Chain A
Amino acid sequence: MTEGTLGTIQLEKQARTSEFRRFLRIFFGRGLVVFGTIIIALFLFTAAFGPWIAPYDPYVQDLGATLASPSSEHLLGTDFFGRDVLSRLIYGARNSLMVGVVALGIAAIIGMASGLIAGFFGGWLYTVIMRMVDALMSFPMILLALLIAALLGGGLVNVMIALGIAMIPGYARLMCGLTQSAKESDYIIAGHSLGSSSMRIMFRHILPNTFPPIIVLITMQIGAAILAEAGLSFLGIGITPPAASWGAMINEGYNRLRDTPLLSFAPGVAIMLVVFAFNMVGDGLRDALDPRLRGVI
């Protein structure tokens, strides 16, 4: 008996390790995913250690050296106020990451909770929640974020809230669908017949099973959040100067496009690289976690 149990445990352990290996093999099987992972690692490192890496203070103006071309002193040159562009890019990474993570946190928590409730209980709760989600979805993301930012005022925190609300529908819909299909599966029916409470079934059984697709969606949407933040800052509603934001930097370079295109070019490339990296890693995670999701997410 004991031997048998031990044997099962060992078998399970083995299955787990090999599953993890399989995950790694598929995940790192594509060059672009590896590339994306490296870029994200660099991005996270830059965001975390920005103040130590940045060669200059991003806010200090050097009016004697405005709009300098790239040189060994200023690798990416300086902007209209003589601020070091590279340092501003590095500080911008922090803001981008922060907006992306917090906005997604808000969206994922509210979206998952409402999707779980709608999918689990069905009936009028489903109708009310999902119709509200439909309504929220009819607002183009940028427009909704603009409205909310106008309602609450601009600034970093409000942009995060605005984007967070704008991104709720994706999570609510995905979660609702996943819950509905999980509800029909045998282990949930078994849970019900064992007398488990709804709460227990929702949080102990359904929720953990929905994590893989949710993680994939989160990874892919970090890119979308960073893009949207850049758009809002470009319009002058997001992060307000002098704080460094990639979108605002692109906007600052707009009027000097003819002579110093690098001012706008550099932050744009940074945005593209990071968004591309998150999308690729999202793709890789999807293939490795659940290939059935291809085409769904």
Chain B
Amino acid sequence: MTTFIIRRLIQAVIVIIIVTLSVFLMMRILPGDPIYMLFTPNQVVDLTEEEIQEIRREAGLDKPLLAQYFTWMVDVLQGNLGKSVLHETYVSDEIAKRLPITAYLGGLALVIGLIIGIPMGIIAAIRRGTWMDTVATSVANIGITIPVFWLGMMLIFLFALKLDWLPVMGFTSPFEDFWLSLRQIIMPVACLSIWPIAGTARQTRSAMLEVLSQDYIRTAWSKGLSERVVILKHALKNGLIPVLTLTGMGIGMIIGSAILVEQVFNIPGMGRLGIDAIFAKDYAFVQGVVLITTVLVVLANLLVDISYGWVDPRIRYN
């Protein structure tokens, strides 16, 4: 197990190096001139050639790219992600404010996805071909089909504009006003959890079907064990392993949906921060958001893989 974890850790470190390197390089190409990481185009126009040279020297932009990458990484590892070119704000401060919001909503969506998706998948598998299977698979198929931003708008139309049950949009911290916060997050979390529910249900169903046809399950049945014991004790253990992988992928998927959902519901999370930064050409922020997001996805997948090896010994020795 230890060698497995070490191997996976090394892999993750390599992936993180590739990710950071590509983010770094992209950000050097993206603005045309890396000086735009420090100043807006309007500010640069006002500078003289000597001043620009001076700034480049000071910021180390005249050094080789690889050297620049190392300096940048050292900064990043110390928590220094740079400063906005538009406002006097530090990228790390802003991300520290925004990330918890997205993590809170996304985490809720992921948990809801598992709580609803797993039983849905199990029922569909053990009652295969019945109306319950049809309902569950239809719901799951619609869930992976529906555009989340559109779903959000339709929910707003129905529950906020027509029925007036829920506030249209916005976000309030649950520590500030718990009930308002709860009412505000119902629709966005519903949108974010639709994919996890559908994905988990589909994955659970097919994994369970696979497991249920295996010999040891037949043995369990022929021993005269009750359905409850066969399904919950024997089949589920192996049936849930593939669901784990999906959960790892789901984190990336949820971040992707969050970009859209935060836009629709006007929630000041990471996704919103990224979009605003891309439109404002505030590259320091774009870099920070992309970096943190991707590293989080890599770490999430690392955790999933390690737990995968922990529950399934076959993986470890492969």
Give A contacts to B, CB under 8 Å: 32, 131-132, 134-135, 137-143, 146-147, 150-151, 223, 227, 230-231, 234-237, 247, 250, 253-254, 257-258, 261, 264-265, 267-268, 271-272, 275-276, 279-280, 294-295
Given contacts A254-B153, A257-B161, contact A295 B210 (CB under 8 A): yes
Chain B contact residues: helix, strand, loop or mixed: helix
Instruction: Show 22 A/B contacts (Cβ-Cβ < 8 Å), sorted by A.
Output: A32-B141, A135-B19, A138-B252, A140-B259, A140-B297, A143-B255, A143-B259, A146-B259, A146-B275, A150-B30, A150-B286, A223-B145, A227-B145, A235-B260, A250-B149, A257-B156, A264-B153, A268-B153, A271-B150, A272-B150, A279-B141, A279-B144
Asked whether B242 lies within 8 Å of A131 as measured between CB atoms, the reply is: no
Q: Nearest B residue to A140 by beta-carbon distance? A: B256
Neighbour of A275 across the interface among B15, B145, B257, B298, CB < 8 A: B145
A-B pairs with CB below 8 Å: how many? 133
User: What are the residues of chain A within 8 A of B298 when measuring CB–CB?
Assistant: 134, 138
- Which 5 pairs across A and B sit closest by C-beta, in order of nearness? A295-B206, A268-B150, A140-B256, A135-B18, A142-B256
Bitwise, B209-242 to A at CB < 8 A (1) or not (0) is 1100000000000000000000000000000001
Asked whether A143 lies within 8 Å of B145 as measured between CB atoms, the reply is: no
Q: Nearest B residue to A246 by beta-carbon distance? A: B147
User: What are the residues of chain B within 8 A of A280 when measuring CB–CB?
Assistant: 141
Given contacts A231-B260, A250-B153, A279-B144, contact A143 B206 (CB under 8 A): no
Bitwise, B115-142 to A at CB < 8 A (1) or not (0) is 0000000000000000000000000011
Given contacts A138-B252, A150-B30, A265-B154, contact A276 B147 (CB under 8 A): no
Min C-beta distance of B117 to chain A, whole Å: 15
Given contacts A131-B11, A139-B294, list 9 more A-B pairs with CB under 8 A.
A131-B15, A139-B293, A140-B255, A146-B278, A151-B29, A234-B149, A236-B279, A276-B142, A294-B206
Asked whether A227 lies within 8 Å of B161 as measured between CB atoms, the reply is: no
Asked whether B145 lies within 8 Å of A147 as measured between CB atoms, the reply is: no
User: What are the residues of chain B within 8 A of A142 when measuring CB–CB?
Assistant: 256-257, 259-260
Chain A contact residues: helix, strand, loop or mixed: helix
Min C-beta distance of A78 to chain B, whole Å: 19
Asked whether A151 lies within 8 Å of B297 as measured between CB atoms, the reply is: no
CA distance A265 to B206 in the complex (A): 33
Min C-beta distance of B299 to chain A, whole Å: 9
Question: Is B113 interfacial (CB-CB < 8 Å)?
Answer: no
Neighbour of B15 across the interface among A32, A134, A141, A147, CB < 8 A: A134
Bitwise, B249-262 to A at CB < 8 A (1) or not (0) is 00011011101100
Which residues from 14 to 29 on chain B have a C-beta closer than 8 Å to any C-beta of chain A? 14-15, 18-19, 22, 26, 29
Asked whether B145 lies within 8 Å of A257 as measured between CB atoms, the reply is: no
Question: Which of A32, A150, A253, A272 counts the most B-chain CB atoms under 10 A from its CB?
Answer: A150
Which residues from 136 to 184 on chain B have a C-beta closer than 8 Å to any C-beta of chain A? 141-142, 144-150, 153-154, 156-157, 161
Neighbour of A272 across the interface among B146, B207, B278, B295, CB < 8 A: B146
Given contacts A231-B260, A257-B153, contact A276 B141 (CB under 8 A): yes
CA distance A261 to B159 in the complex (A): 13
Question: Is B288 interfacial (CB-CB < 8 Å)?
Answer: no
Asked whether A234 lies within 8 Å of B157 as measured between CB atoms, the reply is: no
Asked whether B147 lies within 8 Å of A250 as measured between CB atoms, the reply is: yes
CA distance A146 to B297 in the complex (A): 17
Question: Is B82 interfacial (CB-CB < 8 Å)?
Answer: no
User: What are the residues of chain A within 8 A of B275 when measuring CB–CB?
Assistant: 146, 235
User: What are the residues of chain B within 8 A of A272 when measuring CB–CB?
Assistant: 142, 145-147, 150
